[in-house]
Structure 1
């Protein structure tokens, strides 16, 4: 019967309860004071009456607030988060109507609206899917053709940021560092030769030849730099090199043409969330104490313009130079035999540091994982000055601090499935966290948190969650 009451009537009854309860408490306090007036001093009786009234009103207010919070405030917060998930992250889970049963017609109306929007979206998606399939087929043919051409091809923006690279280029870049979209070409080739050739290209508008050493100084490359006509940027083709490229597994053509027109910003915190590069990572360790345990595996993926970049990932075992406790092996499945012969943490951390250059680092419970890296940095001299986002705090911003913020709970909330055999592996958890991030970014922007600085400021309000978690 109670759930049939209207929302406005229910709120009215809440405050009627507070008014009637407050009156009853005052009357009880006065009665208690009156009962004490038989003594010699009536002041003592009215002090008792005042204390009973004040304490009673406080208790009543807390009780009504708890009822209001449990039956109105929290359900509204949860319903808003679920609607935002459907609207901006494409989550198709059903709305929790039972939790919102005391909100009158609000929850059924929201569910009806969400259903209608989903139906319209499905119709639109059907038309888009057909066109997308055609474009994907053309892209696959283009990628296949470019991959068969025995030249390393890299498309760069005017700021020398990588916009496209093919399979051969991936093999070349990997000799120096992990291939990465939106990375600076100077992470791979010496700056002087490239800038001098680019200056000639801009001055003449014609193809320019150059020879450049690798950024590590170990190799030299012969290349051609070609203009793109009226489009910004240029094409770099490596015709020949003294480097011996290691055989690479087949890689897709990796590109994002929007990077050609990416505006420059004074600082990272002022940039829009969708314009940033993110490196999402996770670690597996010998235990849960960063000051004494060690990393046994690092997994990382890159997210650019709201999508996971295919092929740009790290999946590296690490030799901790100590036995792995059986209890830890039971969690992540990594044994002493598996890490035998693997590199130590120092070269792996340096490689990961280069992989995360110019990016925002993202992790689930980031203080835990970063504590291991920062302990190693005290010996190696690496500086971890990247901005850091934590999906625990992002979840608190979007869904409320009172909800569960484990990785499994967030994935279930956002409709993300973690393969059972990939859970509690560094790369598997990093991929799941990256999927979470991709769905959260449009939700954050819908909340009015459009820049990195705004998100960082908002997450600081929930910092206590991480303190409790760790």
Structure 2
């Protein structure tokens, strides 16, 4: 009969039997040794020595049995719980690893059965959702095709002056200033003085208002109109957009109407995780020393309302101002020829800083990447004071500090596939980290961490992990 064939209750009982039997053996052994000292130093000395020796041996025995219990019972239970949560909240469709919990009796097979049943129910629901999603996708494609033929650029702005929707033409206009971003302030792209004056006039009259909209950098001027919307907010229509953009540019519609209902003025710590904007990024460098090596590539994507926003990304090569070692090129594939003529870190870093404005920065082992950016903050003319989340620490919170927390391990745990050609590229790793974050958010909420402050309290308990990694 093997240990794995015994019931869970019997196995736990055996731990206590082992502890009791070991303690008895230790006490008698200590008494025997102490008895041997009686003849030479007296009975008192012998019994005191026996007591001290048995105490040390019992502590050692208890520690050894605790390690066995922790490795074979506590850790597998913790691991099994995290696997169940990934299937319940992160839509992971994988069998539960029953081998890791092989000494837990029927618990692991029962958990696997529940997970399979959950997946089957989810699949049935997903088929219905997929049918409806396909219908909505067709309607969106038709709407996109229709708007493409209309020679204006359209931007929907909330009552808080945040961008809620932009079409392909508007994306081209916005991109002349910077990368288009949902939930960004409209004043990041257009001159605040002229736009706010036109908005005030629109609010007073309740009618459409025309204006010459100046870009925020002062390089462009557009003939535009503001139209008030029911429930607050307004539609900004740029009439002469088609003369400024490429006729062959892709023109999808990017939107998130939930942003219309977002409440302003809430303290960051009290903001629900779903209401935050995230910029997930990664860098590739000439080496692993932030105090002397340099960035050669920055990749970043945005996550709004728990989803990755397609099209809102940065994939920027950076001239490091020094030769890239062949050993580093072998990892990330970036060569000296590829970065020749590309922006230096002062320009690329400032552009990324704008891209990350009013967002939580997320990275895997963030202190490493942020050290490179902060070292050049003065040259960029910026301050890196963004709130930061680290997926290493989020992994420790959700899966336990004793688990492996590499990006590859997280992707495997959460059933995320990184195409081999994208691994160790800045944008590829940023995309993978963003997918990890999106699957972690509902898991954090299910564990009672509803706000940014709740998550910070828990991640700070595992700060030692990052110190060890760096």
Q: TM-score normalized by structure 2? A: 0.97
Q: 1:40 to 1:242 in 2, by over 3 A?
A: closer
For the 8 Å contact 2:152–2:242, the answer to whether it is kept is no
Answer yes or no: is 1:374 the counterpart of 2:382: no
Q: 1:57 to 1:248 in 2, by over 3 A?
A: farther
Structure 1: give runs of 5+ residues left out of the alignment: none
Partner Cα separation in structure 1 for residue 388 and residue 220 of structure 2: 34
Equivalent residue, structure 1, for 2:407? 407
CA shift digits 1:337-367 (9 cap, x unpaired): 1111111111111110000000000111111
Equivalent residue, structure 1, for 2:139? 138
Deviates more, 1:323-332 or 1:210-219: 210-219
Partner Cα separation in structure 1 for residue 49 and residue 247 of structure 2: 88
Partner Cα separation in structure 2 for residue 395 and residue 375 of structure 1: 27
For the 8 Å contact 2:151–2:242, the answer to whether it is kept is no
Partner Cα separation in structure 1 for residue 131 and residue 246 of structure 2: 39
CA shift digits 1:391-430 (9 cap, x unpaired): 1111111111111111111111111111111111111111
Q: 1:121 to 1:240 in 2, by over 3 A?
A: same
For the 8 Å contact 1:164–1:257, the answer to whether it is kept is yes
Partner-residue secondary structure (3-state), 2:320 = coil
Partner Cα separation in structure 1 for residue 101 and residue 405 of structure 2: 21
For the 8 Å contact 1:251–1:311, the answer to whether it is kept is no
Quote the RMSD (CA, aligned, Å). 1.6
Deviates more, 1:125-134 or 1:10-19: 10-19
For the 8 Å contact 1:155–1:164, the answer to whether it is kept is yes
Equivalent residue, structure 1, for 2:84? 83
For the 8 Å contact 2:170–2:241, the answer to whether it is kept is no
Structure 2: give runs of 5+ residues left out of the alignment: none
Partner Cα separation in structure 1 for residue 209 and residue 158 of structure 2: 16
Equivalent residue, structure 2, for 1:330? 330
Equivalent residue, structure 1, for 2:4? 3
For the 8 Å contact 2:144–2:251, the answer to whether it is kept is no
Q: 1:242 to 1:308 in 2, by over 3 A?
A: closer
CA shift digits 1:81-116 (9 cap, x unpaired): 100001100111211111111112211111111111
Q: 1:131 to 1:162 in 2, by over 3 A?
A: same
Partner-residue secondary structure (3-state), 1:164 = strand
Equivalent residue, structure 1, for 2:196? 195
Equivalent residue, structure 1, for 2:350? 350
Matches within 5 A, 1:279-318: 279-318=279-318
Partner Cα separation in structure 2 for residue 241 and residue 142 of structure 1: 19
Partner-residue secondary structure (3-state), 2:156 = strand
CA shift digits 1:168-218 (9 cap, x unpaired): 101111111110000000101122222222222222222111223211122
Equivalent residue, structure 2, for 1:127? 128
Number of residues of Structure 1 aligned to a counterpart in Structure 2? 469
Q: TM-score normalized by structure 1? A: 0.97
Matches within 5 A, 1:193-342: 193-229=194-230, 231-240=231-240, 244-245=244-245, 249-342=249-342
Answer yes or no: is 1:458 the counterpart of 2:453: no
CA shift digits 1:11-58 (9 cap, x unpaired): 222122212222221222122212221124223212220221111111
For the 8 Å contact 1:175–1:245, the answer to whether it is kept is no
Q: 1:176 to 1:373 in 2, by over 3 A?
A: same
For the 8 Å contact 1:219–1:242, the answer to whether it is kept is no
Deviates more, 1:286-295 or 1:371-380: 371-380
Equivalent residue, structure 1, for 2:160? 159
For the 8 Å contact 2:278–2:362, the answer to whether it is kept is yes
Equivalent residue, structure 2, for 1:20? 21
Partner-residue secondary structure (3-state), 1:182 = coil
Q: How far does residue 222 in structure 1 lie from its aligned partner after superposition?
A: 2.0
